[in-house]
Amino acid sequence: MKRLFLDLEKCDNCPECVVKCSYIYHPQNKGITALREFATFAVVCHRCEEAPCINSCYHNALSKDENKIIKRAKFLCTSCKTCTHACPFGVIFEDFLDFLDSKCDFCAGRDKRLCEETCPHKALEIRDINKDDIAQNIYVVSDHLAVKHPKKWFLDDKVLYKKK
């Protein structure tokens, strides 16, 4: 199945993101920021049992979904960054926490994807992804998104974790 593919290794090594977004409702055209946040929470987050990031947020903007993936309520978040400081693994990056935020719609119903065309390092592309691509550190995190992470992770009961 064709999905938007995000290579986090390429993305994280980029000195400054210049990717543009064609969705008209994104403030400052930063749909990529929301996409990176979603991918990082899905693949990199350690899913702590006590979740210091969630407990530190006095606005109750962070919670876990049914798969224990962190979700941020963008209308509750004030970008105070207490969760960034509370995360013991440094997973929540400050650049994710712009006060004005948006969400990637994966260019649903559109053939042209400006993000894919404007990423100079080709960290974003549309490609066929199969569930067995996990051997290449590629993880299907939604119906529309697959993420490559440089570290080896393993699938156990639909939860990705890092092998020690």
* SS3 state at 82: helix
CA atoms of 118 and 48, how far apart (whole Å) = 35
- Encode pLDDT of 12-61 as tens digits: 787 778 888 877 665 565 677 777 777 877 788 888 888 999 999 988 98
Confidence check: pLDDT of 144 > 90? no
pLDDT at 55: 93
pTM: 0.64
Q: Tell me the residue range of the domain where 43 lies.
A: 2-162
* SS3 state at 8: helix
The owner of tokens 């947020």 is: 57
Number of alpha carbons in the 13 Å side-chain half-sphere of residue 147: 22
pLDDT at 60: 92
What lies within 8 Å, CB to CB, of 48 at 6+ separation is 88
**DSSP labels for 97-142?**
--SS-----TTTT-S--HHHHH-TT--EEEEE--GGGGGGTEEE-S
CA atoms of 14 and 125, how far apart (whole Å) = 16
Quote the tokens at residue 4.
């938007």
pLDDT at 158: 44
Number of independent structural domains in the chain: 1
